[in-house]
Structure 1
Amino acid sequence: MRDRHKKLSDAEQNNLIEKMRAEQRQRESGYREQALKLFPWV
């Protein structure tokens, strides 16, 4: 069976992780996420 997952180098992994963290920070700074922290979904 063929391996479907590409192995990433350390630099590529770090770049991907940093990109994901930046997207997470951007989402958390949005209005919806801030409102959910104050007023959790019922």
Structure 2
Amino acid sequence: MEWFDLVWEKAVSQGMHETGLDVFPDTCPWQFEQIMNLEFWPQ
């Protein structure tokens, strides 16, 4: 398992715990390069 996959898995687990929802995708829908691109995020 790659680092990014592990981080996503932990984030989903925490999100499920905090919200009680089970609607998070199994894998991150964005590529690492997208997330790191400053233009990807809203101002």
TM-score interval w.r.t. the shorter chain? 0.3 to 0.5
| Higher-RCO chain (CA-CA 8 Å, sequence separation at least 6) | 2
Q: TM-score, normalised by structure 2?
A: 0.44
The alignment's TM-score, normalised by the length of structure 1, stands at 0.45
Q: Which has the higher helix share?
A: 1
